Chain A
Amino acid sequence: MKDKLKSLWQKLFGDSIRAFGVVSLVFLVSLAIAPAKNYFSEWRHYQHGYLKMIRNRSDAVTLQRHFQGEIQQIWLPELGVVDRCTSCHVGLKEASLADVNVQPFRPHPVIPHKLDQFGCTVCHRGQGAATTVAEAHNSTLAWEQPILPAKYIESSCGECHRGQLPGAPQLNQGRHLLSRNGCVHCHTVKLPDGKIMKATDDPPSLSHIADKTSREWIYAWLKDPQAYASTATMPNFKLSDDDTRDISAFLIANSTSLPEDTATLSAKPSSDPAAGASLYGESFCASCHAVQNAAGNLVGGNVGPELTRVGSKVKPEWLQAWLRNPRNYDEETAMPHYRFNDPQVATLSGFLLAKADSDLLANVHLEAATPEQIAHGKRLVSDYGCASCHEIAGIKKPENFAPELSRIGNKPVTQLIFLPGMQHTLPDYIAGKIKQPRAFAPGLKMPQYTFTTAQVDSLTTALLALNDRAATLPPSLLVVAPPESNYQPAGKAGKLMTDLACFSCHRINGHGGDMAPDLTWEGSSVQRQWLVEFLKNPNTLRPSLIRRMPKLNLTEGEINELTDYIMTVYQSPAGGRDSMPLSGYPQGQVELGKQLFYGKYACQGCHIVDSKTDKGYIGPTLTQVGSRLTAAWIFEWMKNPQALRPGTAEPNRAMSDEDARALTAFLISQKSGGKSEVARTKK
């Protein structure tokens, strides 16, 4: 062995010439390493692949002209972004490569931002300065944030865009769920603009719960909220039988009674299902409340709780008190105060109480609670943070009950504990935590939600947008949300509108729901007499809608109060209400309007003027529009409907004043009574 080494040494360095030759050779080789590494680099390999791919295409010449070799770079000094992704993703801007389905050569899909001004990692994350796939896409020792999976890409939109964003439905839904499902009751989410995200789910107060329901129902509900109502947003706390028993004992013992709720039944619940169904329909309860039908499908809205098994839950006394005036029990409720009379309360309560499920409470047998059980129940209620969502007399709402999520999108992976078999990335962690919160460690308090996969993904998307960059973005790059309005109408009418919960469905001055038309300019739009009649007895305006204005059983005085306020206050700045007459248009102009209606503008596609011939029912029925709307409003509407009601489905036809005036003349001649009245009664 030693001899061999010795002879090798002799061969290489035996004399000075040999030694010089060998050393020069070694130098030469080591000098060649750098260029060779460069030559065989990954990005060059992809660029060769790209050139090979485009060679045989019909558009080869154009593509070759666009091609730039070497390392490409997009630099955004404002954001500290250096992206070299385009060194490998060479065809990003080539729309003609749309048929290519191999990466890295796919063209970028159309987005509202310019690639060379926006870079890549601003949306996709990853390490932009890297020039190898592994370093750019994955997390490395020096770079934690890997590329963002496509399904969460909208979270990057949310860093700058703080409001609703058309084109990013997942982000919108995720943000909606964060408030709607009450995540932010326990988790503080401080938005980058300093505002605290508010919940929109309004969980009921439990301070008078014994008025409303039985201990048995509370037990069944706590055990499995979704067994009572599949749509329940209340999560499952996976409580043991004993814990459930004790919490229900405490809630009942802690409840105080309201005088209205325990009043003896003034009207015996009647069992006339036909009358009940008819009143339920007329009051449009289904606009807000869902009921599971025989086929198992939910029918109805999701503003109020599902009523499929409500008869197994509520006490008759409480239900009647609630129907009479829900604001006695819950001042903030979204439910209107319907002003039902005694027979109506009897009919409706009888109808609702019949919606019972005998299986729900069949296996719940509770013995009278002991003081120890009640005390234990109270401790559990504090431990589980029930008061974060529900008002409970004697228990304070806990502060910061759960970890704050304001910067969750930047949580270092090294601080996370993953489940076995889980990918070690932040998005996977967040999604896993939402899906199975209790799996991560024994004794965790976060309850089990019933989110679908799509909902988990959208929640994850919204949470990933809460990161350092979003919080530190220069204000010039922000696209802020329109400020939230807390508009409240004034005076007696304002009180009445709150009592009737108009804002649960209607929006006025940026405040309120979106189920029914925006009333901001209602006073310019309609005629006084029509509004009075409508409030007295709402008839159908849009036959294609299933959510409609309910009959609220208002008194004459209340109707006048409301009408006066609406007519005076809710005025459009465009054109005076009385600037055009309600009748007396020349016959020729009316005729021309009719021709335009049926010919040039083909309005009968969506509207009915003559119920014998017209069929369209997308827009409101216009058989009596001349008694409903003001001429000035019709004219302005013809000129530009979106200006009056943004988002309306009626297209802007850019009409000439002459056409708009003729159509106004034609439409305003459609009065109640006369020929259209005959058609209406026939129908």
Chain B
Amino acid sequence: MIRHFLTILTLFAAVLLTSCSHKTAAVPLPTPTAFGAAIVESSGGKQTAQAGTALPQPVVVQVNDEQGNALPGALIEFNAAPGVIVDPANGLTDSSGQVTTNVTLGGMAGRYQIVAYTTDKGRKRVALTIEEIALGYQQTLGRQLNDQYCERCHNPESTVERVSNFDNLEVKPHPFAEGDTLNKISDADLTAIIGHGGPALNKSALMPAWGNTLSKSDIQALISYIRAISDPPNRNAGPVYARN
């Protein structure tokens, strides 16, 4: 009697378990037809977007074989901190050896690491870490001020819509991502340069004083933006979010 009862109980439990695990089971991974040796970034790293929003450009990574040629049919899996949406989260490389994915950053400002994995011939994992930058409220405000007042001189790249003035300046301004230089300048010094112009710190007069145009909180917002996009990262850039 008890034995019967036990078998029924086990059966019931088994059904319950399978039905539950069925619910949470992920979509099966596609089966790779090739195994590469290395994984490299094609584009989409170091982008900035507001926290919680989608990156403007997709992230594209490529799998190469031993000879360094693009390899189609290899499996790439993406991994990121909770809260980050990587869509699709995996895929086989296309005819040019690439997988393209769209990334929505987590809700907190800081840096987000997205790790792309592939498996090599020895079934070993090869990984590539890509970093993206999420801007908080203050940094977003800073970015707007940068677009309005700073970028045309401080960004050496021209676009169709915005011609850069960088090359016209005798003393070259520092691009804001230039962490090697800007990380060495304290917040107080940056505030002084922005507010009172280059001469305040014995730098070029081509950097005008913005203290009468921008408010104190504007200048703080600009500095927080500069710190956020710095490369290499500034220690005030906020935390790094990676998969635990």
Instruction: Check A150 for interface membership: any CB of B closer than 8 A.
Output: yes
Instruction: Check B148 for interface membership: any CB of A closer than 8 A.
Output: yes
B-chain residues with CB within 8 Å of residue A151 when the two chains form the complex: 52-53, 104, 107
Contact A111 B213 (CB under 8 A): no
User: In chain A between 597 and 656, which residues have their CB closer than 8 angstroms to a CB of chain B?
Assistant: 599-602, 605-606, 615-618, 640, 642, 647, 649, 651-654
Task: Report the minimum CB–CB distance from A548 to chain B (whole Å).
Answer: 13
A110-B224, A454-B54, A654-B212 known; A605 and B169 CB under 8 Å?
A: yes
- Report, as a range, how many residues of chain A touch the other chain: 35 or more
Contact A649 B107 (CB under 8 A): no
B208 touches which of A297, A546, A642, A653 (Cβ 8 Å): A653
Closest 5 CB pairs of A and B: A150-B107, A150-B52, A151-B52, A101-B239, A615-B168
A602 touches which of B53, B137, B141, B205 (Cβ 8 Å): B205
Complex A-B: 9 CB contacts under 8 Å: A100-B239, A106-B108, A110-B224, A111-B137, A151-B107, A544-B162, A615-B167, A615-B168, A654-B209
Instruction: Check A482 for interface membership: any CB of B closer than 8 A.
Output: no
Instruction: Check A166 for interface membership: any CB of B closer than 8 A.
Output: yes
Instruction: Check B29 for interface membership: any CB of A closer than 8 A.
Output: no
Q: Known contacts A151-B107, A297-B160; can you find 4 more A-B pairs with CB under 8 A?
A: A170-B50, A602-B204, A651-B209, A652-B212
Contact B165 A166 (CB under 8 A): no
Task: Report the minimum CB–CB distance from B56 to chain A (whole Å).
Answer: 7
Chain B minimum-CB-distance residue to A619: B165
A-chain residues with CB within 8 Å of residue B107 when the two chains form the complex: 149-151, 153
Q: Which residues of A contact B (CB under 8 A)?
A: 98-101, 106, 109-112, 149-153, 166-167, 169-170, 297, 299, 452-454, 457, 543-544, 546, 599-602, 605-606, 615-618, 640, 642, 647, 649, 651-654
B-chain residues with CB within 8 Å of residue A98 when the two chains form the complex: 236, 238-239
Contact B165 A544 (CB under 8 A): yes
- Interface secondary structure of A, over-half rule: loop
Task: Report the minimum CB–CB distance from B47 to chain A (whole Å).
Answer: 12
- Give the number of residue pairs across the A-B interface with Cβ within 8 Å: 118
A169 touches which of B54, B144, B162 (Cβ 8 Å): B144
Report Cα–Cα, A99/B241, bound state, in Å: 11
Report Cα–Cα, A299/B107, bound state, in Å: 34
Task: Report the minimum CB–CB distance from B93 to chain A (whole Å).
Answer: 23
Residues 94-107 of chain B, each 1 if its beta carbon lies under 8 Å from chain A, else 0: 00000000101011
Report Cα–Cα, A166/B143, bound state, in Å: 11
Contact A167 B141 (CB under 8 A): yes
A-chain residues with CB within 8 Å of residue B213 when the two chains form the complex: 642, 651-652
Chain B minimum-CB-distance residue to A102: B239
Contact B212 A169 (CB under 8 A): no
Chain B minimum-CB-distance residue to A301: B161
Chain B minimum-CB-distance residue to A299: B160
Report Cα–Cα, A149/B106, bound state, in Å: 10
